[in-house]
Chains A and B, each alone.
Chain A
Amino acid sequence: MLELIVISTLNGVLFGMLLFLLSSGLTVIFSMMGVLNFAHASFYMLGAFFGFQLTKWIGFWPALVLAPLLVGAIGMAVERYGLRNTHKHGHVAELLLTFGLAFAIEEIVSMIWGKSPVDYRVPALLDFPAFTIFSTNYPAYKLFMLGVSVVIFVALLIVLKRTRVGLIVQAALTHPHMVGHLGHNVGRVFMAVFGVGSALAGLAGVIAGPALVTQSDMAAALGPILFVVIVFGGLGSLPGAFIASLVIGLVQTFAVALDGSLASAFGPLDPSAGPSVLTDIWNVTIAQVAPIVPYLLLVIILIVRPMGLMGTRES
C-alpha cells in the first residue's frame, strides 16, 4: 500500500508538472492580455512536431531551443496580424479567431506529418532509469521534464513580479495609454507576451512529445484539460495554475489507483432488488471514472468559487 502511495504521488507530480508547463503559457497570455487562447494546445502540438522534425535534422538539444523559438515567432505573427486587428471587435471575435486557428493548425499538421503517430524518441542521453523506488524505475527523462517545469515556473514568477519588463507588461494591460506616453511601444509588448506564451507551449510540446504520443490529434486530446487547469487555478494566476496542475495530476493518478466503488463502500446491491442500470452504477469503480474527475472538479469550483483557487478576476 505504501508503495502504491509513494509511486502514485510521484506519477501524479510528474503529470501535474507537465500540465503546468502547458498551462503556464496560456495563463501568461490570459493574465497579461485578457485573451483566452483556444489555439494554445495547437502551439503545443506544433512544438512537438517541430521538435520531432528538428531532432531528425540537427539533434534533440538544438531542437529544444529552436522549436520553441519557431513556435514563439508564429505566435507573434498571430498576435501582430490576427489578434491585433480583431481586438477592436471584442473578446468573442478574438476567441473565434483562436478557435479557427486551432482547427487550421490541426489540418496543416496532419497534411504534413500524416495522421498516425510519428516516431519521436527520448534522446539517448536521457534514456536510462534515474533511480529505483520499490523496484519501480523512474526514467531520467521524466525527471528532466520535472526540472524544466520548475525552472520555468520560478523564472516566470521572477520576470513578472520582480523586473522592469514585468512592470511594463502589467502596466500596459491596465493603462495602455499611460505606458504609451512613457515611450513604450504597447503593441510590441503585447506581441512579445503572446510570443513568449506560445513559445512556452512549444517548449512543452518538444519535451512532452517523446514521453507521450506525437500525433495530429494531440492538441484536441490535451486542450480541454488545460482549460480545467487555468479555470481551476484561477484565471490569470500563475501560482494558481501551478497548484491546480499538481492537484489535477495527483487526483487523476490516485483515482486510477483506487478500486473503491459504491458497492465496496456500502456493500453490493441485490441485483434482483433494482434495475440493472442501478447495480451497474453501484459497481463502477473510481478508477473507471478517473478521466472525468478533473472535469467534475471544474464544475464544482465554478459553482463554489467562480474566480478559481487563486484568481482575482471573475471569468
Chain B
Amino acid sequence: MRKLTLAIAVIAPMLGHAASAEDTIKIGYIDPLSGGGASVGEGGLKTFQYLAEEMNAKGGILGKKIEIVGLDNKTNPQESLVQAQKAIDSGVRFITQGNGSSVAAALSDFVTKNNTRNPGKEVLYFNYAAVDPSLTNDKCSYWHFRWDAGSDIKMEALTNYMKDTPSIKKVYLINQDYSFGQSVRSDARKMLGAKRPDIQIVGDELHPLLKVTDFSPYIAKIKASGADSVVTGNWGQDIALLLKAAADAGLKVNWYTYYAGGAGGPTAIKQTGLDHQVFQITEGFANSGNQSAMDFEKAFRAKVGLSLWYPRAVNEMRMFKAAAEKANSIDPVKVAAALEDLKFEVLDGGQGLMRKDDHQFFQPIYISSFGKLAANEPFDEENTGWGWHLVSKVDTAQAMVSTTCKMARP
C-alpha cells in the first residue's frame, strides 16, 4: 500500500507537467539569483520575463505561451548542473544561461551528454552572455548557441579602437581569475602586442571571482604602476566595486571594459568624474540612435525599472521564435536546424547571422563611452544624468573571426 502511494506521489506530478507542457514552452533560466552575481542574474531574469510577456501578448510562439523558469545557480558550475537536471525533469527543453563561462562550459557539456543519452528528448542551450572563445572553438557543441560576441571578437574591436588612440602608452590588465578573465588578459596581451607594440603592459592582475569586497589594494597597485589605461573584463559586483574603489581613491585613468554598465557601475563612474573616459563594448546600448531599439528601451524601462542590459536577450528570444516558425515546430532538434545560418535583423539595427560552423551569432558591435548626454541622447543610467555615447561601430562583416570548431552533428 505504501509503495503504491509512493508511486502515485512520484508519478502524479510528472503527469501534471506533461499535460502543462502541451500548451506552454518552458525556458529554464539558470543564473545567479544570489551572491556576488545576483545583480546581473536578477536583471537578466526580469529581461527574459519581460520578453516572454511581450511575446505572449502577441500570441506566443506557434500559439503556445512562453514561461520563464528562474533557477538559482549561485554562479557555481556544479549547482548549475543540479538546476539543469531539475529543469529537464520538470519538462524544460530549452535552457538559457549567461553569467560565468565556467558555468557555460559545464552546461554545454551536460546538455551534449544529455542529448546523446536521451534521443527524442533533446535540450537546447541558449547562451546569452558567456563569452569565453573556447565555447565556440575547441569546446563547441551542436546544442549550444551563443548570442553574445565572444571575448576575442570584442577584444578585436576594442584593440582596433585603442590602436588609433595615441595617448595610450601604459596599460594595466585586471581580470577575474577564471576562464573568461584569463582569455581577456591573454587576448589583450596578444592583440595589443601585435597592433601597438609600443604600448607597455605595466600590470597583469588576476583576482578571485566575485569574492573581493574591497578593491582599494588593487587600485593602489594600478596607481603605483603609472598606467594611463585599464582593460578589464570584470562583471557583476567585481566591476562595480572596482570602479567604486577607483572613485574613492581618485584614480584618473581611461577604462576599457566589457561590463562597466552593470548595476552600480554607472553610479561609481559618475563619482569618479571621468567624463567619457570609461568605454564599454556591447552589441547595443540605450542611445544607439536606432529608433525601434530606443522605443523598446523606453517601454522596457517604464515596465521593468531597469535599463536594457541585454539587447542580445531580445535577439535570442526573437530568433527563437523565428526559428520555431521557420521549422513550424518547437521540437528542439528542428529548432536547432532552423537556427543554423539564420539571418536576423538585430534590435539595434543591422543584419546578424547565426553561423552554422560554430553556432556563434555575429552582429554589429559598438564601443560607447559614459558621460554627459548630448542633445539627441535621451537615456541616462541609474539616475546619474550621464549615459552612453556612441564612439565607434564595427559592422557584422568586420566582427567575424575564424573558428577552430569541429562540430559533432547529430
A117 touches B39 (CB 8 A): yes
Residues from chain A with Cβ under 8 Å of B221 in the complex: 4, 256-257, 287
B208 touches A291 (CB 8 A): yes
Residues in A263-306 with C-beta less than 8 Å from chain B: 287-288, 291
Contact A253:B217 (CB < 8 A) given known A136-B223, A291-B208:
yes
In the complex, whether A174 has a CB less than 8 A from a CB of chain B is: no
Q: Mark A19-33, 1 if CB is under 8 A from B, else 0.
A: 000000000000000
A279 and B81 alpha carbons, distance in the complex (Å): 32
A137 touches B218 (CB 8 A): no
Partner of B34, one of A137, A216, A253: A216
In the complex, whether B211 has a CB less than 8 A from a CB of chain A is: yes
Could you say which of A7-15, A147-155, A178-186, A233-241 contacts chain B?
A7-15
Q: How large is the interface on A (under 10, 10 to 19, 20 to 34, 35 or more residues)?
A: 35 or more
Residues from chain A with Cβ under 8 Å of B241 in the complex: 213
B237 touches A15 (CB 8 A): no
In the complex, whether B193 has a CB less than 8 A from a CB of chain A is: no
Q: Which residue of B72, B223, B264 has the most chain A CB atoms within 10 A of its CB atom?
A: B223
In the complex, whether A198 has a CB less than 8 A from a CB of chain B is: no
A135 and B219 alpha carbons, distance in the complex (Å): 12
In the complex, whether A315 has a CB less than 8 A from a CB of chain B is: no
**In the complex, how many residues of chain B place their beta carbon closer than 8 angstroms to a beta carbon of chain A?**
34
In the complex, whether A115 has a CB less than 8 A from a CB of chain B is: yes
A213 touches B213 (CB 8 A): yes
A7 touches B35 (CB 8 A): no
A137 touches B250 (CB 8 A): yes
A132 touches B237 (CB 8 A): no
Q: Which residue on B lies nearest to A208, using beta carbons? A: B213
Partner of A135, one of B207, B216, B223: B223
Residues from chain A with Cβ under 8 Å of B211 in the complex: 221, 291
In the complex, whether A215 has a CB less than 8 A from a CB of chain B is: yes
Q: Mark B198-220, 1 if CB is under 8 A from A, else 0.
A: 00000001111001111011111
In the complex, whether A116 has a CB less than 8 A from a CB of chain B is: yes
Q: Mark B235-264, 1 if CB is under 8 A from A, else 0.
A: 001000100000011110000000000011
A135 touches B39 (CB 8 A): no
Residues from chain B with Cβ under 8 Å of A287 in the complex: 205, 207, 221
Report the minimum CB–CB distance from B386 to chain A (whole Å): 17
Q: Which residue on B lies nearest to A218, using beta carbons? A: B213
In the complex, whether B109 has a CB less than 8 A from a CB of chain A is: no
Report the minimum CB–CB distance from B245 to chain A (whole Å): 10
Partner of B38, one of A7, A116, A142: A116
In the complex, whether B224 has a CB less than 8 A from a CB of chain A is: yes
A117 touches B214 (CB 8 A): no
A253 and B39 alpha carbons, distance in the complex (Å): 27
Residues from chain A with Cβ under 8 Å of B263 in the complex: 116-117
Residues from chain B with Cβ under 8 Å of A135 in the complex: 223, 250
Partner of B206, one of A110, A221, A288: A288
Given contacts A116-B41, A116-B263, A221-B213, 19 further A-B contacts (CB under 8 A): A3-B224, A4-B220, A7-B220, A8-B220, A12-B217, A115-B38, A115-B72, A116-B38, A117-B38, A135-B223, A136-B250, A217-B35, A221-B211, A222-B213, A252-B217, A256-B207, A257-B221, A287-B221, A288-B177
